[in-house]
Chains A and B, each alone.
Chain A
Amino acid sequence: MSNNITTEDILRISGVDTRKCMFCGKCSGTCPAFDEMEYHPHQFVYMVQWGMIDKLMESKSIYKCLTCFACLERCPRNVQPAKLIEAVRQAVIRQQGMNHMTENDIPGLLEDKLPQQAIVSAMRKYKK
């Protein structure tokens, strides 16, 4: 099965430059969900770079990531593996067509008590 998602798509969504990685493995060394994951943070980096996106999209690993950002915080080369994992997750969600919200729905949802960030992240998650 091909999802037609390319390396470029993931890099664009995530804003990550995988070429910066020097394969030290600090992200996987630091990851608290390591044992739960089939593919580990450092593998996301080279698998995205080498175009093995389908495998990542089919893997449960993308839901095991806690998004704790420890890898992102400690990476000596500022590669930000967590953002890649998030981007692969995004790609899956987009393919499922789960657009719960459009831009036009947002103004009606705005209220003082709701943190703006919640709406922004909802937008980011569901905007096609």
Chain B
Amino acid sequence: MPVNTEWKPKIVAFCCNWCSYAGADLAGSSRLAYPADVKIIRIPCSCRLNPLFILRAFQRGADGVILCGCHPGDCHYSTGNYYARRRMTLLFSMLNYLGIDSRRTRVEWVSAAEGAKFAATMNDFAKTITELGENVKLGDLRCKEN
């Protein structure tokens, strides 16, 4: 099989509406570049992220998933990011078991003022994912497709 030199990682970034999505906007308006492989999904709060969404992304061929939320203590909904943090900690401990390198998932706190941090985080994450290479799609035992 020829090596696919054209391979580009697929990275899904979940960003909370109040801090990180605004941080991503700020990165944009400050023209701070990060790889186009990163696609952002807006969610109201990091606690809206069901860890199953991350598994779904891996199932569908994502190579990396990152969750960005408000800094601890700054959550718009006061406690949402604490829930997110706990849930993600649990997910991390499960990922290796599922056969996914846990470095493919990350949680970062990015405030609305941290455009530069957003870009730097995405650059770093994309670099990590590129180094890790193509992910193995998670199988779904219930319905074998293809």
Q: Do chains A and B touch in the complex (CB under 8 A)?
A: no
Which residues of B are at the interface with A, using a C-beta cutoff of 8 A? none
B-binding residues in A (CB < 8 A): none
